[in-house]
Amino acid sequence: MPWERVFFAGEWEFSGDVTYNYATHHRHSCIGARAGFGDLLIGAGALMCEANGLDPGRKASLRDPMVELIKITEGFYACGVAASVYALRDPHSHSFMPEPVFANIGKLLLSTQIYDMHRLAHEVSGGLIVALPGPDEDHNPATAATLAEVLRANPEVPYDKRIEVARFIEDLTASYQGGWYSLISLHGGGSPAALKQEIWRNYPVGDKVDLVERLLERGVLAGENGAIARDRQPGRCCDAGCSQPGQAIMVPSPDPRKAAKD
């Protein structure tokens, strides 16, 4: 047996660490993979808008979903970058472990928004993706010219280029491969429940509690002269309230006629 390749031999107590470490690396890599997938959807969506003769820069109905697609993609990618920046080096193996909270948050964001990414790409691209004529019609001399004339939208984009982009988006999102991408994005590397468990297990909630307790001890949150104390609803300045139930808060407006006599 090649013992130089054996890392554990009966040390079962470290199996949990191995599992957690593997999962964190896997989820971190998923972020980069789906960010690349998002780039494809963003680029294809923009090309499809152009082929359809529409400009997202001029139409909010296209610009808003495009920005939403960008926000989703770059949102979880940013978590992947943060997980890399805050990675820690293992003192024994000398490999770097991605920061687990950012890695799991990024994977959770992409897992729960992968279907939204598909929907947004479909929204900006239109129904041509699933209404395309079959390849046999494209290459049929009797129908090809007619289809090119009818299905051309932007005069500057040839029909064959428009249909090529539409089929590209179909392959990514509305095919067997597209369904496979969705499922592995949702459950690959751990389901959302596992990701939430890891986020809670690694997040320094205690540090946030300490922060609030220090503020309370300093009287920052309940100080008499603080902004919060000055901006209280009338009658709600303390737990009991300074106004009795039913007591009028507003003062009646003065009579202008009486003021004129005075």
Give the model confidence (pLDDT) of 41-78 as tens digits.
Answer: 999 999 999 999 999 999 999 999 999 999 999 999 99
pLDDT in tens, 171-226: 999 999 899 989 999 998 889 999 999 999 999 998 888 888 888 877 665 555 55
The rounded percent of the chain whose pLDDT value lies above 70 is 76
The reported pTM is 0.76
- Which domains are delineated in the chain? 14-136+148-209 (1.20.140.10)
What is the rounded radius of gyration, in angstroms, for the C-alpha atoms of the chain? 30
Count of all residues that appear for the chain in the document = 262
List the beta bridge partners of residue 88.
97
Distance in angstroms (rounded) separating the CA atoms of residues 194 and 108: 9
3-state secondary structure of 216: helix
3-state secondary structure of 96: strand
| Phi, psi (deg, nearest 5) at residue 111 | -60, -40
